[in-house]
Structure 1
């Protein structure tokens, strides 16, 4: 339902003269990162995405560590891994950040997942439109490089 809400919000933005629907970005931390990942994967009107504290692997995080119920998609591993969903955002700009001490989304799996997503961007010839920052911290928002990235691409 969150992805649906994002799509309906963009519908509303398109009705507002004072807003520029050609400059819609999406960003979020944790569950907001989940929402950003899936919304940007499915909604082409999102021009740039900033995923904080989420991009990982289902195997290393969601199916290994206790999470909120909205993280579980029955049978998803029969079809894809989290990085496959992230790759659907390509070739639009994507920034990913993770804390090096995140105990919910382990940093080693965040790095692996990002490398897989980056390969998809490379296929499009757009590797320069995706970046990752691993910052000193736990499961939290950082934004040091991500916010300027979004400003640049929107």
Structure 2
């Protein structure tokens, strides 16, 4: 009995010592210590993701692309798995036409056009459709999709301004019909709607791509348009649309990307005083999930080739450091060089800023969409 009592006392003493030791280790973090701890974890996450997106891109890309340059058709076949994955990045929804297209007269910058609307269930595809005077059933003309950017509307390509220079008007004067779809404008609106879109496993570029396709379906029923000669010219966010959509829409035979093409990894995640990286802006809508898994700008171009493509960039345009744009362009050009069609990709590196350069753009479409 005495022995059991002694053992119980020893056990109690042991527990008291352990308890006292643990209490001695207790500590309440100060706010500064707590902030330092979570700051460290944030840096870990950032470093991990930047390494994956930027430093790990080349190795990852080399595994995910298997291009065949033996012919243009061979290249198109070889990038088809990437094209399917690209479509999964944008997740364009399946929309259905639920009524006839309506057209009403609409004048913009002294030009007579039509405002077209096409119901797609709860969504409406709409924009401006304009024809040159010479267009007719007996003289069908090429069509250019003129896509506006973030702070603009479908009227902007027809108007004189520091970014657009009425390039749609220049196209009309050169004998092209113009379709200018209306997309969602403003950073705030796109940020807001992109939240809903991601929850629905789609994206604004995907939705607007589907809208454009339906518009194109109906517009091409007009016998004044030659459906085999379609181009697309986008400025800024419209340039994004051109690069995003051309890989998925084979009816677009030639494209111009103004004030968008970039060294994409740097533009998205690497801050630099020489250009404005998206990572330090509030433009959250532009972070399309999966984009940098394998689709840097030069890789996207390989899904556009062998179709003719012109890149326009201004040395004073703060969206990019222009020498990096040239380096990315040289990588993109390789896809055309290996096909022996280097003349079908073109760089207009100009001395201006964030803008479309009309004359070489019109000349480009004249060259590649003429009969």
Q: How many residues are treated as equivalent by the alignment?
A: 154
User: Residue 23 and residue 69 in structure 1: after superposition, are their counterparts in 2 closer, same or farther (change >3 A)?
Assistant: farther
- Greater Rg, structure 1 or structure 2? 2
Rate the CA distance shift 1:63–1:6 in 2: closer, same or farther, 3 A.
farther
**Structure 2: runs of 5 or more not aligned:** 1-206, 271-276
3-state SS of 1:44 partner: coil
CA contact (8 A) 1:13 1:21 kept: no
2:320 match: secondary structure: coil
Residues 133-148 of structure 1: matches in 2 within 5 Å?
133-148=348-363
**Aligned ranges 1:105-124 → 2 under 5 Å:** 105-124=320-339
Work out whether 1:78 is the aligned partner of 2:293: yes
1-structure distance, mates of 2:287, 2:349 = 25
Looking at structure 1, the residues matched to 285 and 301 of structure 2 have their Cα atoms a distance apart, in angstroms, of 17
Partner of 1:29: 235
In structure 1, list runs of 5 or more residues that go unmatched.
Answer: none
1:152 aligned onto 2:367:
yes
Give, in whole Å, the separation in 2 of the partners of 1:133 and 1:95: 7
1:80: Cα distance to partner? 2.5
TM-score normalised by the chain length of structure 2: 0.40
- d(CA) in 2 for partners of 1:117 and 1:45? 21
Secondary structure of residue in 2 paired with 1:60? helix
Matches of 2:238 and 2:322, distance apart in 1: 18
Q: 1:7 aligns with which of 204, 210, 213?
A: 213
TM-score (norm 1): 0.90
Cα offset, 1:147, TM superposition: 1.7
What RMSD in Å do the two structures reach over aligned CA positions? 1.6
- How far residue 6 of structure 1 moved from its aligned partner, in angstroms, is 2.7
Q: Which has the higher contact order (CA 8 A, sep 6+)?
A: 1
Q: 1:105 to 1:6 in 2, by over 3 A?
A: farther
**Per-residue deviation, 1:72:** 1.9
Cα deviation, residue 20, structure 1: 1.0
Select which of 60, 69, 75 maps to 2:266: 60
Q: Classify the secondary structure of the residue corresponding to 1:145.
A: helix
